[in-house]
Amino acid sequence: PPYPVRLSGPVIKGFGRGSKDLGIPTANIPADDLSEKHPELTTGVYYGVVALDPKTYQHETSEGSTSTAVVLPAVLSIGYNPFYKNTVRSVEIHIMPALTEPSPTAAGQEGQTKFNRLPDFYKTKLNLLILGYIRPEFDYVSLEALVEDIRVDCEVARESLLREAYKCYLVDSGKMSGK
């Protein structure tokens, strides 16, 4: 489909598995009218950017905290999570640290991956720009195999978003709110 694709909605409760089972929190937004509004979005894993409301996320800079929306890289899945055999489609977004921060998911010597964790922001409005497709959804033989693929997805997303052409999306210039 022609990217960017803009999705937005309130952050809703999911199945609660993201953090509990996987150690990977995913902000869920409603997916009800997705096939109607975005028939081009096939199930799979995508990358993009998310703008978080400054009230939600106090973003620290060298000058202290700012009140401008912060735009962060994200990986998301649209679909049924075959590993969990969901019957309804969901949109689940994992928000990563800014690209200027070290990647917590880069393969380290220790072998232990930490996924980014922010203070909870349920019910707030999330603005997402989908910028590209990574892969289809797969089923997995184990939770570990699933987590490893998500770790790789995070790295693919970060590498992609470092491309020059995406620079304009990583600063908030009203693109996210549709202004």
**Nearest alpha-carbon partner for 73 in 93, 56, 52, 98:** 98
- Is 110 among the residues known to form the active site? no
Judged by CB under 5 A, the chain residues 160 through 179 that form the site for Mg ion are none
Nearer to ligand ADP, 3 or 15 (CB): 15
C-alpha 43/C-alpha 76 separation (Å) is: 10
Q: Which of 7, 18, 73, 76 binds Mg ion (CB under 5 A)?
A: 18
Q: Which helix (H) or strand (E) holds 146?
A: helix 143-161
- Provide the minimum distance between the beta carbon of 98 and ligand ADP in the complex, in angstroms, as a whole number: 12
Of the residues 40, 60, 63, 92, only one is catalytic, namely 92
Contacts 24+ apart (CB under 8 A), 122-125: 122/11, 122/12, 122/13, 123/10, 123/11, 124/10, 124/11, 124/52, 124/53, 124/55, 124/56, 125/8, 125/9, 125/10, 125/11, 125/53
Stretch that binds ligand ADP, among 12-20, 30-38, 105-113, 138-146 (CB under 6 A): 12-20
Q: Which does 13 bind (CB under 5 to 8 A by kind): ligand ADP, Mg ion, none?
A: ligand ADP
Site string for Mg ion, 73-112 (x = CB under 5 A): -------------------x--------------------
Site string for ligand ADP, 20-39 (x = CB under 6 A): x----xxxx-----------
> Using alpha carbons only, what angle is made at residue 108 by residues 103 and 111, rounded to the nearest 5 degrees?
125
> What is the set of active-site residues?
92
Q: Which residues bind Mg ion (CB under 5 A)?
A: 14, 18, 26, 28, 92
